Chains A and B, each alone.
Chain A
Amino acid sequence: MVTDDGQLYTIEGIAAALMIVVTAYLVVSTTTVLTQQDVHIIDLQLQQLGNDALAMMDTPNKYGDESNLSSLVKGNKTNEFHNQFLAYLNVESGSGMVSGNYEYNATIYYRNISGINSFSFDESQEYYRENAVKVSRWVSLKEFNPSPQYIPYLEPGNRTVLLEVQLWRE
């Protein structure tokens, strides 16, 4: 014999379930503010530092000179790039204790007749899954005349490439 023992009435049950689900969703969505907090600020600091370093490397000290960054990328001078970039990142005024120990890898993105290509320019350490940021800068290469192995199939002449640097703290 079928009775209504132990059962919800159908409409009431569905309504109750919907209300509970909707209510739970509203409560969670309105009361929980998801922020990355400290991680976000540290990312901002690192990104600002990387952008500053690239911008200053790309600013010549004398009017009419070629910028350091342009010269280094054009000449495939990875050792000098490594030294200068890390020198900018690690420099301190000496007034307080700050953390350093930065690592990076730099990739050049360029366009040629086959489309957009990339070329691994330099890396201080292999990247795994560290908390990293990316900074980039357009680099103007005047009278670019590369060897065949460097930035393959980028035609000689005045070219502009995108230098993207992935940056993280060790």
Chain B
Amino acid sequence: MRFPRKVDREEGLLSLDFLIGFTIFLIALIFVGIMISGLLVHLQSRTIDYDAVAYRTSVVLVEDPGEPANWQLADLQYPAERANVKRLGLAIQKNYPGILLQDKVGKFFDDTSSTGCLAEGTFCNPEDYREKLIFGDYPYHFNISLKTLDSSSQTRSVGDPVPDQSRYGYIKRIVKIQKPDSIHIYNATSESESCLKTTSFRFNITKLYDDVPPPYRIDPLSQNVSILFRNFSQNGTGAWPSITDIQICTYPIALTGGGCIGADAYDDSPRMIVTIDGNKEYNSGDPAANTVTDYVSINLEKGFFTRIGYDRFGTIDLIMTFDQNVTNQDYNYDYSSSAASLPELQSAVLEVWVW
């Protein structure tokens, strides 16, 4: 009870009890604060999360060649080969970010099932893309679209249609796509000018790789090889040349354990396809049917060399033997033999939406 005019000598003082109590309270508050901030670290806003996932996805697509780096050669009909594809990067090499390989782009956008995992030989949509590209436990929806800057080109897309209203993560990347080299053309010579029944096309992989940087490189190990051997003529008796044998050999045998295999060593893809005069396939068992009156077209499907164990350190010869003289030289599959164009780059835009 307060009395007027009576002086209370304890009034306005801060007691030691209060200080101790207040200190304990503040220390407790600090601990709580520290613990709450630790809890908050794990919380993210939805926008940041989706944008970050979209950015990460674009980095994998544009700056990473994938795992394995030549995953575009995988035959998706075989579960083991499909499972072996760990990451779907589209870059030609990790040292060349932004330069995409056309074969990877094609496989990524075209070899996809419309939905689910029912179709054989394609990526499961969206399961494989989530597992090998977007990652994370959350089942993100996505749309990945690519369009070359050529105005006539169509947009290639994989994933769901982009929603109009809901919030999504987004990123746009400018890229270039490597178009592989075109067909390589070689001319036969008339019998009077010829001295060789055997024609040899040499693939010096090391030289192809060393001369030119990867974005502009002819790469028989991972791209289709197309050879057109033309301008055949009749001999003095009026007979057209006939193919008697086709072999692919690698050198040096001592280092690579190489040797030769025939043109018809494989029936399934990737294999060698030899077409005579544009209408009949080479048949090693029927020499009479292998007469050439115009040209021979040889296609080595991408991954063929890798399938038979040849690598970038090898020198490979494609040897065709005829029953009469057809040429006077050996040929090189190199940068001077491409008929129309060497590998070129084409600008494109890649957009990623994640929600």
* CB-based contact B33/A52 at 8 Å: no
* CB-based contact B9/A52 at 8 Å: no
* CB-based contact B157/A45 at 8 Å: no
* CB-based contact A5/B7 at 8 Å: yes
* CB-based contact B23/A19 at 8 Å: yes
With a cutoff of 8 Å between Cβ atoms, the chain B residues found around residue A96 in the complex are 143, 145, 162, 170, 351, 353
* CB-based contact B215/A59 at 8 Å: yes
Contact with B along A107-137 (1 / 0, CB 8 A): 0000000000000000000000000000000
Q: Which of A26-34, A139-147, A154-162 contacts B (4 or more CB under 8 A)?
A: A26-34
Instruction: With CB as the reference atom, state the residue of chain A lying closest to B7.
Output: A5
Report the minimum CB–CB distance from B44 to chain A (whole Å): 9
Report the minimum CB–CB distance from B38 to chain A (whole Å): 9
* CB-based contact B14/A94 at 8 Å: no
* CB-based contact A61/B351 at 8 Å: no
With a cutoff of 8 Å between Cβ atoms, the chain B residues found around residue A87 in the complex are 149
Contact among A23, A53, A60, A93 for B155, CB-based, below 8 A: A93
Check if B347 is an interface residue, CB within 8 A of chain A. Answer: yes
Contact among A8, A9, A59, A92 for B99, CB-based, below 8 A: A59
Give the distance in Å from the alpha carbon of A3 to the alpha carbon of B347 in the complex. 87
* CB-based contact A53/B33 at 8 Å: no
Of residues 161 through 213 on chain B, the ones whose CB sits less than 8 Å from some CB of chain A are 161-162, 164, 170-176, 212-213
Contact among B22, B173, B344, B353 for A52, CB-based, below 8 A: B173
Instruction: With CB as the reference atom, state the residue of chain B lying closest to A87.
Output: B149
Give the distance in Å from the alpha carbon of A31 to the alpha carbon of B41 in the complex. 10
Check if A75 is an interface residue, CB within 8 A of chain B. Answer: no
With a cutoff of 8 Å between Cβ atoms, the chain A residues found around residue B99 in the complex are 59
* CB-based contact A45/B172 at 8 Å: yes
Check if B349 is an interface residue, CB within 8 A of chain A. Answer: yes
* CB-based contact A92/B12 at 8 Å: no
User: Given A8-B14, A52-B175: A38 and B98 within 8 A (CB)?
Assistant: no
How many chain A residues touch B (CB < 8 A): the figure is 45
* CB-based contact A95/B162 at 8 Å: yes
* CB-based contact A27/B342 at 8 Å: no
* CB-based contact B170/A98 at 8 Å: yes
Of residues 24 through 62 on chain A, the ones whose CB sits less than 8 Å from some CB of chain B are 26-27, 30-31, 33, 37-38, 41, 44-45, 48-49, 52-53, 55-56, 59-62
Contact among A8, A41, A93, A94 for B48, CB-based, below 8 A: A41
* CB-based contact B353/A27 at 8 Å: no
Contact with A along B40-79 (1 / 0, CB 8 A): 1100010110011001001000000000000000000000
Report the minimum CB–CB distance from A95 to chain B (whole Å): 4
* CB-based contact A30/B98 at 8 Å: no
* CB-based contact A56/B98 at 8 Å: yes
* CB-based contact A98/B174 at 8 Å: no
Give the distance in Å from the alpha carbon of A37 to the alpha carbon of B46 in the complex. 11
Contact with A along B312-355 (1 / 0, CB 8 A): 00000000000000000000000000000011111101110100
* CB-based contact B345/A3 at 8 Å: no
Check if A149 is an interface residue, CB within 8 A of chain B. Answer: no
User: Given A41-B48, A56-B175, A88-B174: A30 and B30 within 8 A (CB)?
Assistant: yes
Check if B240 is an interface residue, CB within 8 A of chain A. Answer: no
* CB-based contact A61/B344 at 8 Å: yes
Report the minimum CB–CB distance from B6 to chain A (whole Å): 12
Give the distance in Å from the alpha carbon of A56 to the alpha carbon of B97 in the complex. 10
Given contacts A20-B26, A62-B216, A88-B347, 12 further A-B contacts (CB under 8 A): A7-B12, A9-B14, A19-B19, A33-B40, A37-B45, A38-B47, A41-B52, A45-B171, A56-B347, A63-B343, A95-B161, A97-B164
> Residues on B close to A: CB < 8 A?
7-9, 11-14, 16, 19, 22-23, 26, 29-30, 33-34, 36-37, 40-41, 45, 47-48, 51-52, 55, 58, 97-99, 143, 145-147, 149, 155, 157, 161-162, 164, 170-176, 212-213, 215-216, 342-347, 349-351, 353
> Residues on A close to B: CB < 8 A?
3-9, 12-13, 15-16, 19-20, 23, 26-27, 30-31, 33, 37-38, 41, 44-45, 48-49, 52-53, 55-56, 59-63, 87-88, 91-98
